[in-house]
Each structure stands twice: as C-alpha cells, then as structure tokens.
Amino acid sequence: MNEVDKKILTLLQDDFPLVSRPFLETSEKLGIPEDEIIDRTRVMMESGVIRRFSASIGHRKLGITANPLLTFKVPAERVEEVGEKLSAFDEVTHCYERSTVPGKWEYNVFAMVHGYDRKAVEKTVEKIAREVGVEDFELLYSTKEFKKTYKRYA
Amino acid sequence: MELDDIDKKILVELQGDLPVVKRPFKEIADSVAISEDEFFTRVKRLQKEDIIRKFGLRIDSEKVGFKSTLIAMKVVPERLEETADRLSGYDFVTHNYARDHEYNLWFTVIERDESALRKAIERIEREVEYDDMLNLPVRRKFKIDVRFDIK
C-alpha cells in the first residue's frame, strides 16, 4: 500500500460519497484519474486490504435484539472442524478461536449469533450445538451496548 | 420507521459487496428496479434512521498492521455503568457491551501495532477499577461476515 492508496482509503472508509460517480468525486479531490482510483480500489480488494465494500446495518433498529456471544470449550484437535461448522451457519456472523486463561476462562471458540428474539436464538443455538457436537458451551447475551464505533485505519 | 419491500431489498444488496465500477449505485438501483435518485433518497433516509450505520470501504485492520483483542472484565454490578462509560471514553475501545455473566463487561481494544496495544491495556489496568480482567486475543479467524436476515 503506497501513499496514494492510503489517501483513497482515508477518503472512502467512512464517508463514501453517495453520488452517481463516487470515484469521480474522489478523483477530483485527490487529483488522480477516476480509472486509477477504481483500479487501485480493485487491487486492494483483491489483496484483502479492503475487506468489504458494503454497508453496516444497525441491526438492533431492525428488531434483531438477541445478540449473544456463544463460546465453546473445544479440544485442540477439533478446533478447526468446529470452527468451520460454526462458520457455515448464516446466523453466525463472526467465528474465532481465542486464547484461554487456564482456571478462569477455558472456552476457546467464539461465535456471534444474531436473532430477532431470544426464543429464536435459543432454537438456533440448540441446532448449532447439536451440529458441532460440543456440549460444554456458554451463551452470553448482551444486555446493553455502550459503544460501537469503527477505528479509522488510514 | 416502517420499511417497505424496496428498502428491504436495498438493505440486502448493500450488505453484500458493491461492484467497483464508475456507477456502483446504478447497478443496485437497477437490480431493485428504481431510479438512482430514488436509491439515494432511500439510502439517506435509512442512514438518518441509523439503520445504515456506516457505508464504504472496510479495511482489514490486520492487513494494515493493527492489533486487537477482546477483554472480559468482572466489575461490581453497581459500578458497571460508570466503568463502561470510562472505557468507552478511550479511542482504542471500539465495541463495548454489558453481558449477562460473571464477567459482565466485554470490550474490544484495537491499536496500530503490538506495542501500542500493550500500552493501551496497561493504561486500562492503571486507570480503571475492576475485580478481574481476561485478555482473549484471536488465535485463528474462521469467519467475519456481518450480514443480517432482513425480515
């Protein structure tokens, strides 16, 4: 990523222009041709520096209010398999293996699950737990959102 | 705010990747059979209602060197709000939730590199009162695909 790429990201990571030709607007601001901005953006998408070109939804506003963190205690040799199985569920938006703190926190595979209400989510969780075949898990509902922001990376 | 079918279709489309072309929005407008102008009007309304929270290029923080972690904190329930507000005041805390558990406060910390992340955690240890804190960094990523089923 060079300085020009950084400038593009700086302009387009939050306030993406909602206009017919957004890259043309950026091109005028940066003094770089529109085609070059499009090409560079494509390259950054291919390399994975840009993860998505999309919207983030205020899901709570849409009534998706049951958003628990589901944590499983998975033996090391099954982590890969369980992670992949969990990821296949549409209701799971994030899935990670995380470090543990022996004696205090031994759940190593985390999945974020979303649903319209707790009843629906509990059904989903039952289905998920059965599918992955891990009995030791915890379901941690969020009871309040204090902060949700996005850090600027460029 | 009541969403009609067109709004719902727009939300479904905008959660997937847009094409990187001269007129990216035209393609979405066409696919839901409205004009580009109507698309912008609707999207601005959805933004105003906070249903669209952010729109644009999402950077993979790790690919640009950033380091992050998840912290679980055990806080006296009477002081939960106060502690949460204090943590939310830090720029390096990006997501912060109360959860129904003995460890009742869960938040993410993100900084520009490993050393800055360590300093951020040390600052929390120094400045915030709590009973216990677990640092749970990611070891392996399986999925990040935040798309919601729009009913």
ipTM of the modeled complex: 0.85
Its domain, for residue A73, covers: 59-140
Same domain, A10 and A68: no
Residue B73 included in any domain: yes
- Given the structure tokens 């601001």, which residue do they identify? A29
Nearest to B63 among A15, A23, A49 (CB): A49
Per-residue pLDDT of B88-122, as tens digits, reads 999 999 999 999 999 999 999 999 999 999 999 99
Same domain, A109 and A40: no
Q: Please give the Cα distance from A129 to A85 (Å, whole number).
A: 10
Residues recorded for chain B? 151
| Residue A14 with chain B: CB contacts under 8 Å | 54, 56
Same domain, B91 and B34: no
Nearest-CA distance from A73 to chain B in Å?
14
Same domain, B72 and B41: no
Number of domains in chain A: 2
Instruction: Verify whether the Cβ–Cβ distance A52 to B57 is below 8 Å.
Output: yes
Instruction: Verify whether the Cβ–Cβ distance A153 to B59 is below 8 Å.
Output: yes
pLDDT value at A152 more than 80: no
- Given the structure tokens 């759940």, which residue do they identify? A107
Residue B113 included in any domain: yes
Check: CB of residue B104 under 8 Å from CB of residue B77: yes
Angle in degrees, CA B133, B139, B140, rounded to 5: 140
Q: Please give the Cα distance from B10 to B21 (Å, whole number).
A: 18
Same domain, A25 and A70: no
Same domain, B36 and B76: no
Q: Please give the Cα distance from A18 to B144 (Å, whole number).
A: 25
Per-residue pLDDT of A76-135, as tens digits, reads 999 999 999 999 998 899 999 999 999 999 999 999 999 999 999 999 999 999 999 999
Nearest-CA distance from A58 to chain B in Å?
5
Nearest to A142 among B25, B88, B98 (CB): B98
Nearest-CA distance from B121 to chain A in Å?
16
Per-residue pLDDT of A18-73, as tens digits, reads 999 999 999 999 999 999 999 999 999 999 999 899 998 888 888 888 989 999 99
Residue B30 included in any domain: yes
Nearest to A62 among B66, B132, B150 (CB): B150
Number of domains in chain B: 2
Residue A53 included in any domain: no
Q: What are phi and psi of B14, to 5 degrees?
A: -70, -15
Its domain, for residue B19, covers: 5-48
Same domain, A68 and A133: yes
Residue A115 included in any domain: yes
Residues recorded for chain A? 154
CATH number at residue A79: 3.30.70.3460
Same domain, A65 and A130: yes
Same domain, A36 and A78: no
Per-residue pLDDT of B31-63, as tens digits, reads 999 999 999 999 999 999 999 988 899 888 888
Catalytic residue of the set B48, B79, B95, B101: B95
